[in-house]
Amino acid sequence: MTAFLYTWNPEDWHWSDQQDAIYRVNNNKVYDTEWSCGNRKHIEIGDLFFLMRVGVEPKGIIGCGYASSQPYLLPHWKKEKADEGKFALRTDVLFKALSDKPIFSLPYLQNNHPISYGWIPRSGGVLIPEDIATELFSSIQQKFNFIPATQEEIRLYSEGKVKKVTLKTYDRSTAARQACIEHHGYNCAVCGFKFETVYGSLGKNYIEVHHLKQLANIGEEHQIDPIKDLKPVCANCHRMLHKERPPLSIEELQKRIQN
């Protein structure tokens, strides 16, 4: 079992669709994205990754899953560096477990599984000793009750994925959802509902994203403007938009609510 430690610092990058990601993973839906792997160039499809929350409390491992690509270059995840033309290595990752609170806290890891970098590496992509990775993964698998994937299953999944996101081309991807949410916010575009207002911290930063242009009608490769072609919607409005075929427009559903 080859496993790597990836890191996420909320002070460096706002994970705008994290709550949607948690919902998807906890309900056996696919959530995959790309993640920085530091300078690590040798990661194979099917290798394990553990995601470590750093920078702000509570620190610890909040998720795990499989690398679904080898490392490749994308514009740097920090906007200022991307604007300077800098790139960073990333791999596609397929989450199998994800939480907004540490599954294993930093003190627990330091006390029970001490390693040379103290669980807070300078960058992601560091190797985790196999015996530690095996024990941690087994515990997470039992807690989240998922069936571990084989390397062949991950490879088949990887080969069947739609093309990767570039700066100008989007598909059904986390990058598109994140760009939509960052521009439009977390209020429903149909009724104005905001989950945090009703559910407090449980609903903070949660919203679903609706495609105004249905992907099944467009084809596999196409360009999406995440600002114009995607809208944040609450779960109820999302279901009502799709209750008819073709789906209702935002304006049509608003008129039905008004009537």
* Domain annotation for the chain: domains and CATH numbers: 3-160 (3.10.590), 174-258 (no CATH)
Amino acid, res. 116: S
Q: How many residues does the chain have?
A: 259
- In this predicted structure, the answer to whether residue 219 has a pLDDT above a threshold of 60 is no
pTM greater than the 0.95 cutoff: no
Has residue 153 got a pLDDT over 70?
yes
Angle at 36 (CA atoms; ends 32, 40), nearest 5 degrees: 120
At residue 134, what are phi and psi to the nearest 5 degrees?
A: -65, -45
Q: Is the pLDDT of residue 39 over 60?
A: yes
Please compute Rg for the chain using Cα positions: 19
Residues 6+ apart with CB under 8 A from 78: 12, 13
More confident residue, 10 or 174: 10
* Helix, coil or strand: residue 87: strand
**Average pLDDT in the chain:** 88
Task: Give burial (CB, 10 Å; 0-12/13-18/19+) of 241.
Answer: buried
Say yes or no to pLDDT of 164 above 90: no
* pLDDT at 163 exceeding the cut of 70: no
User: What's the whole-number mean pLDDT along residues 31-51?
Assistant: 93
pLDDT number for residue 222: 55
